[in-house]
Amino acid sequence: MASKIDILDIREFERDQELSDFYCNKFEDHLQTHKKAITVPHKHNFFLTVIFTRGSGIHEIDFEKYEVLPGSVFMLNPGQTHYWELSDDIEGMILFHSKEFFDVCFTNQSVFDFPFFYSVHNPSALFLEPAQTAHLADNFQNILQEYMHRHTLSRQKIVSLLNCIYIDLSRIYLHSGHNKLLKPGKYAGYLRKLEELIEEQFKKEKSAATYAERLNITKRHLNRLTQQMLGKSTTQLITERVILEAKRLIVYDASSLATISHELGYEDYTYFSRLFKKWTGLTPSEFGKSYG
């Protein structure tokens, strides 16, 4: 098995302390400098957006494979696992930032308001037409110029340009045929909070009733909301998060399967193995070998 997966910190990429919570670069330059870290499976503690303008390849995000082509855009939340397999002629632009970098500049707006960041259940990939790609690449280039040269009020201009990029991407994203996107709203707020609670507690807490209690609604009401918004029960959402973490640990962690089972809150490995096979069609051992 592979060694434990790395979590990249945004401070590893900083040029100076003034913009320690933001980074932008041409993708080919970024790849050359950080190839060892980013071409193997890894996570980050920041939001990442990348657009490709030339080349091809594969981008795997949490065990879902996406084709990389000119016009491919990917928007990743903190904590998602991914890696690239890219052609030698790859070109594009990449930026990433902390939540605070964006949110501190707005009174009633957050980076989580954009649909691709709002929920981990919303797709991370978008494919643009040539004109859209050119327009977005221009805005990336403007950000890069500000980032590299640090003119007066560069931080404010970068955030303004970043907001424009996210608005343009949101408009395309919402009209791109994605069905049942989780969007901000009265009831979707419960789902957003539920995702946060599951992320914090899924290893120890598997009861849908407990999550409903912490949201101050009934289990039945919460299940009705998750079914309406995502077509899944609360228990399904909890179990999906457990299975995703199990996959990550099986493939990227050197611990034994019994240890992984215990870490995820299952004392009985046999039960955990049955659950994993029910959801994936493979036993934990078979899944690990398939990525060997």
Q: What is the pLDDT of residues 37-86, one digit of tens each?
A: 888 889 999 999 999 999 999 999 999 999 999 999 999 999 899 999 99
pTM of the model: 0.82
Share of the chain above pLDDT 70, in %: 93
Task: Give the confidence band of 178 by pLDDT, cuts at 50, 70, 90.
Answer: low
Q: Are 238 and 226 in contact (CB under 8 A)?
A: no
Q: Are 92 and 141 in contact (CB under 8 A)?
A: no
Task: Give the confidence band of 204 by pLDDT, cuts at 50, 70, 90.
Answer: very high
pLDDT in tens, 129-162: 999 999 999 999 999 999 998 778 888 999 999 9
What radius of gyration, in Å, describes the C-alpha atoms of the chain?
Answer: 20
Helices (H) and strands (E) in the chain, counts: 12, 10
Block residue for tokens 């490995």: 269
pLDDT in tens, 81-130: 999 999 999 999 999 999 999 998 887 888 988 989 988 888 899 999 99
The answer on pLDDT for 172 being more than 70 is: yes
Share of the chain above pLDDT 90, in %: 67
The answer on pLDDT for 179 being more than 90 is: no
Q: How many residues does the chain have?
A: 292
Q: Which two tokens stand for residue 202?
A: 């899924």
Q: Are 130 and 53 in contact (CB under 8 A)?
A: no
CA dihedral angle for residue 211, residue 206, residue 83, residue 32, rounded to 10 degrees: 60
Query: Which CA distances in Å does 55 have to 28, 76, 95?
Result: 10, 20, 18
3-state secondary structure of 103: helix
The distance of Cα 222 from the centroid of its chain, to the nearest Å, equals 24
Query: Which CA distances in Å does 193 have to 5, 196, 197, 289?
Result: 27, 5, 6, 36
pLDDT in tens, 248-263: 999 888 889 999 999 9
DSSP secondary structure string, 174-208? Answer: HTTT--S---SSTTHHHHHHHHHHHHHHTTT---H
Query: Which CA distances in Å does 4 have to 1, 31, 43, 170?
Result: 9, 22, 11, 34
* CB burial of residue 250 (10 Å; 0-12, 13-18, 19+): buried
Average pLDDT over every residue of 5-34: 85
CA dist., res. 263 & res. 204, Å (int): 9
